[in-house]
Amino acid sequence: MSVAEIIVDVPTMQTNRPFEYLIPEALTDVVVPGMRVEVPFGRGKRKIQGFVMQVKAESGFQGKLKPISRVIDLKPVLSQEMLDLSAWLADRTYSFQISCLQTMLPSVMRAKYKQFVIPLVSDNSEVNNLLNGQPTFEITNQIDDETVKLINRLRKNKQVDIQYVVQNQALQVKRQAVTTDLNVIQLHEAKSQLRPNAKAQIKLLDFLADNLQSLPVEFNVLEKEYGISRAAIKTAEKNNLVKVIEVTKLRKPVGINPEQTTKLALTDEQQVAVDQISEAITAEKPETFLIEGVTGSGKTEVYLQTIEKALQQDKTALMLVPEISLTPQMVNRVVGRFGDQVAVLHSGLSNGERYDEWTRIENHDVKVVVGARSAVFAPLDKIGLIIIDEEHEASYKQDDNPRYHARDVAQWRAKVNKCPVVLGSATPSLESRARAEKGVYKLIRMKKRINNQTLPKVHIVDMRDAENSAVKGDFSPALTSALQETLDRHEQAIVLLNRRGYSSFMMCRECGFVLKCPNCDVSLTYHKDLGKMKCHYCGHEEPVPNICPNCHSKKIGFYGTGTQNIEQQLNDLFPQARVLRMDVDTTRRKGAHAKILQQFGQHKADILLGTQMIAKGLDFPDVTLVGVINADTTLSLADFRASERTFQLLTQVSGRAGRAEKTGHVVIQTFNPDHYAIKDAAKQDYETFFKQEMYLRHQSNYTPYYFTTLISVANQDEGKTLKQSYWLKKQLQTALSKNAILLGPSPTMISRKQNKYYYQIIVKYKHEPQLHQRLLEILNETQADVKSGFNIAIDNEPQHID
């Protein structure tokens, strides 16, 4: 009897290793790596899930092995590459391997689901016996090993397939469709017998005659695209001209319907980039390229043509973007070039949709995958190229366990697949740019905009000036007149309100009382649509007070500027202008982002007002003005990346202006006009910013000069949190050399969230060979305390410290 090594779904340090189980005779050849099985665990009758990591002939274990209880999947859900990756990832992110394995699965397989056997052939007696007259066969916990074995054999012979269905949700949308048994001649004959005023019937028959190869065709396609009604179809059905059947259609993500595009003739700079990357694709070199290209330099075309190169060599390509819903234009460009060969994975997909895309990738139906962070686990094989667009974006790092960075995972996969990684940005992260400086990455600079379009002219407005501080609202005279001129020319403007997702909060002007969440240490924010004050962290809500709960003064009011407020000011200043607002409130519905951007692109509005989400990747030729209301918000963050984030945001948003023939203007309002991050962003001068910021990072011993590990401790009891933090610090001290820097423990910026207190310790180091092992041991030692509410989280190279 053979033996399987299994990672069990018990997320503790003690169980964070493979366990051996016997494979029952009947399941020999069925159980393979990457499959999930159910196994007995511990004493008692408890059965838990596990991933098969390896199958071997015999065990080195002396005692008696327990057998696998049953297989959960009838086909592997993870490839060998992913199994290997999970081990590396767990180690790197201080997480349990089981968490990593779960993270790699599409969410449908983590949810409650059912599994069905779907027949692929109709004339096989074994298949028909199994189905027993039904269209599908449901795989339940009860099926015996013999049946499992049979299904497995049928699947391998491509006589059946297995599909997952999320419970309470149809896996595949069933749709009504039309087909016909008649051939072209019979259709024409039938048509000639119709009354001439039976217009709809004639139209339908004509359509069928022209499209016989592409039948069946769905009702809604006929209706929407050809104006043939359901009634007409039903009539034709009655007259035996057509047949109505149900088709299962794989859902396609909504809102993606771009025009087909073809290769552009490359500029010299683009050509150099494409050549270098193509060479690495052909030579199968796992190198990392950093494209530092100013906004509008045409990075996308470089991505598209290198993807094409990979496809020509019969390979696949993976492209990551920060957040799909924020970058619909980028997705459209990829789909526009490669059409059906592209799968798009993003958070807006339902479980079912995500599963469909996943299946298309696994079945090799697609060659290109575009998606946000988690798409880095897409089950592509023979990857020829991995692209990470806007590589500096913080969203590439996952905030929860496993705290992985997509860039690291991409580089790991690139090594295994022997392919290059391309990082692209107008404002690369300091880490990546520093690696390019050292020659670890190959630097490709694109300094010119397409058509030698000049960079936008930037005007920094000092809000401390008398003239500006005198204005009542948030618009300086300079920005107001720039907007007016843009409107007069019938061009478009983008207005950025720089804020961290907070809308206005309530403060008393008499006593300074701020309305806070009773559970968390943050101010409640006003949600206009609910008419309530709400906590950003725990969801607590309460009515808007009209007197101060502290001093009973009536002078309690809103503070801080929200987008709604700015929108009102815009309406007051420019009653004629049409304003579109894009923020968390207006984009809650699925597809809302894409719709707003589409409207703006069709010139249905003059001003697009929004938060950070409008800063990235937008390419609208008629936008000639970008206004930034408050450049300083990100500067004031208590984070060593504050300057970098500010520089990135301002450079990116400025880059939205003047992308076509017309010159762009940018107006930046700030209280820190002399800050280098703002001045360099105004010049779109990444290199100068990089040098200055590197100098400061060097001075303060931060990334990329030092590695950083952030360890946070949380507990319901503040005293205990502190005690544990100091204990932790002592543990670390024993493992670190004198060269390492240990900061803290200190309370996090929001020190209480959901009734837990948070303290953190920061370790900065250059070379500490013992640290990794010691941290793993600490995780192990503190396991027993987890149940009592003691939590340690380790973040390797944190994106933000707060």
Q: Would you list which residues are annotated within the binding site for Zn(2+)?
A: 508, 511, 517, 520, 535, 538, 548, 551
- Which residue, 521 or 619, has its beta carbon nearer to ligand ADP? 619
517 binds, among ligand ADP, Zn ion, none (CB under 5 to 8 A by kind): Zn ion
* Residues 638-697 interacting with ligand ADP (rule: CB under 6 A): 659
Crossing angle of helices 268-283 and 299-312, rounded to 10°: 30
Residues 682-711 that bind Zn ion (CB under 5 A): none
Q: Among 293-301, 316-324, 508-516, 550-558, which window interacts with ligand ADP (CB under 6 A)? A: 293-301
Q: What residues numbered 115-154 form the site for ligand ADP, per CB under 6 A?
A: none
Q: Which of 88, 226, 502, 513 is in the footprint of Zn ion by CB under 5 A?
A: 513
Stretch that binds ligand ADP, among 216-224, 261-269, 489-497, 710-718 (CB under 6 A): 261-269
Nearest to 782 by CA among 797, 794, 771, 795: 794
Query: What does 103 interact with, of ligand ADP, Zn ion, none (CB < 5 to 8 A by kind)?
Result: none
For residue 620, the minimal CB distance to ligand ADP (Å) is: 9
Which position among 16, 107, 201, 267 is part of the footprint of ligand ADP (CB under 6 A)?
267
DSSP three-state, residue 754: coil
**Spatial CA neighbour of 104 closest among 90, 118, 124, 123:** 90
In the complex, least distance from residue 291 CB atom to ligand ADP, rounded to whole angstroms: 8
Cβ atoms 261, 308 nearer than 8 A: no
DSSP code of residue 516:
B
The closest of 681, 686, 687, 627 to 657, measured between CA atoms, is: 627
For position 616 contacting ligand ADP by CB under 6 A, the verdict is no
Annotated binding site: 508, 511, 517, 520, 535, 538, 548, 551
Per the CB < 8 A criterion, the answer to whether 38 and 68 are in contact is yes
Q: Which does 374 bind (CB under 5 to 8 A by kind): ligand ADP, Zn ion, none?
A: none
**Tokens 């990444």 sit at which residue?**
686
- How many angstroms separate the CA atoms of 54 and 35, rounded? 10
Q: List 543's β-bridge partners, or say none.
A: 532
Cβ neighbours of 259 (radius 10 Å): 7
DSSP H or E stretch at residue 763? strand 756-765
Nearest distance in Å: CB 299, ligand ADP = 4
Sheet with 316-320: strands ordered across: 342-345, 368-371, 316-320, 383-389, 421-425, 288-293, 442-446
How many chain residues are in contact with ligand ADP, going by CB under 6 A? Answer: 16
**Member of 16, 86, 115, 300 binding ligand ADP (CB under 6 A):** 300
Residue 193 to residue 672: CA distance in whole angstroms: 81
- The length of the chain in residues reads 802
Closer by beta carbon to ligand ADP, 160 or else 372? 372
Which residue in 287, 301, 308, 632 binds ligand ADP (CB under 6 A)?
A: 301
CB atoms within 10 A of CB 405: 20
CB-nearer residue toward Zn ion: 416 or 547 = 547
Count Cα neighbours of 473 within 13 Å in the Cβ-side half-sphere. 17
Spacing of C-alpha 37 from chain mean position? 29
Which of 36, 155, 251, 299 touches ligand ADP (CB under 6 A)?
299
- Least Cα distance to 318 among 273, 373, 270 occurs for 373
Residue 24 touches which member of Zn ion, ligand ADP, none, C-beta under 5-8 Å by kind: none
Contacting residue, 264, 471, 551, 784, with ligand ADP by CB under 6 A = 264
Select the residue interacting with ligand ADP from 120, 247, 266, 743 (CB under 6 A).
266
Which among 4-12, 294-302, 308-316, 483-491 is the span making contact with ligand ADP, rule CB under 6 A? Answer: 294-302
Q: Which is nearer to ligand ADP, 105 or 274 (CB)?
A: 274
372 lies in the binding site for Zn ion (CB under 5 A): no
Using the structure block, give the residue that is written with the tokens 């779904």.
9
Single out the segment in contact with ligand ADP by CB under 6 A; choices: 249-257, 289-297, 476-484, 630-638.
Answer: 289-297
Distances 596 to 491, 590, 610, 646, 705 between C-alpha atoms, Å: 17, 12, 11, 25, 42
547 binds Zn ion (CB under 5 A): no
- 398 CB neighbour count, 10 Å cutoff: 18
The entry of Zn ion, ligand ADP, none near residue 266 (CB within 5 to 8 angstroms by kind) is ligand ADP
- Decide which of ligand ADP, Zn ion, none touches 170; Cβ closer than 5 to 8 Å per partner kind: none
Q: Does 712 bind ligand ADP (CB under 6 A)?
A: no
Nearest CB to ligand ADP, comparing residues 265 and 466: 265
Choose which of 22, 65, 311, 450 interacts with ligand ADP (CB under 6 A): 450
Strand, coil or helix: 530:
coil
To 10 degrees, the CA torsion angle through 102, 103, 104, 105? 60
- CB-count exposure of residue 358 (10 Å: 0-12, 13-18, 19+): buried
* One of 206, 474, 619, 639 touching ligand ADP (CB under 6 A): 619
619 interface partner picked from ligand ADP, Zn ion, none, CB below 5 to 8 A per type: ligand ADP
Report the residue number, 585 or 619, with the smaller CB distance to ligand ADP. Answer: 619
Decide: 666 and 459 in contact? Cβ < 8 Å. Answer: yes
Pick from 201, 297, 306, 643 the residue near ligand ADP by CB under 6 A: 297
- Structure-token pair, residue 38: 């159910």
> Is 278 an interacting residue with respect to ligand ADP (CB under 6 A)?
no
Residue 297 interaction partner, one of ligand ADP, Zn ion, none, beta carbon < 5-8 Å per kind = ligand ADP
Give me the least distance between CB of 596 and ligand ADP, in Å please.
Answer: 19
Question: Closest separation between CB of residue 508 and Zn ion, Å?
Answer: 3
**Dist. CA 688–CA 437, nearest whole Å:** 14
Residue choice 296, 348, 402, 745 for contact with ligand ADP (CB under 6 A): 296
| Alpha-carbon gap, residue 400 to 95, rounded angstroms | 10
For ligand ADP, the closer of residues 296 and 402 by Cβ is: 296
Q: Which residues pair with 115 in a beta bridge?
A: 139, 164
Task: Quote the least distance from Cβ 110 to Zn ion, whole Å.
Answer: 27
Where are the strands (E) in 525-663, listed by range? 525-527, 532-534, 541-543, 556-559, 579-582, 607-610, 623-628
* Binding of residue 295 to ligand ADP (CB under 6 A): yes
537 binds Zn ion (CB under 5 A): yes
Rounded Cα–Cα distance for residues 476 and 669 (Å) = 8
Vertex 485 angle, CA 479 and 487, to 5°: 100
The residue assigned the tokens 């206009």 is 528
- Measure the CA–CA gap between 610 and 236, rounded to whole angstroms: 51
For residue 263, the SS3 value is: coil
Nearest in space to 103 (alpha carbons), one of 117, 89, 115: 89
Site for ligand ADP in 81-110 (CB under 6 A): none
Q: Which is nearer to Zn ion, 510 or 785 (CB)?
A: 510
Taking the complex as a whole, the smallest distance from the CB of residue 515 to Zn ion amounts, in Å, to 10
Q: Shortest Cβ distance from residue 298 to ligand ADP (Å)?
A: 3
Minimum CB separation of residue 612 from Zn ion in Å reads: 22
Instruction: Indicate which single residue of 457, 532, 540, 723 sits in contact with Zn ion (rule: CB under 5 A).
Output: 540
Residue 532 or 540 having the CB closest to Zn ion: 540
| Residues forming the site for ligand ADP (CB under 6 A) | 264-267, 270, 293, 295-301, 450, 619, 659
| Residues forming the site for Zn ion (CB under 5 A) | 508, 510-511, 513, 517, 519-520, 535, 537-538, 540, 548, 550-551, 553
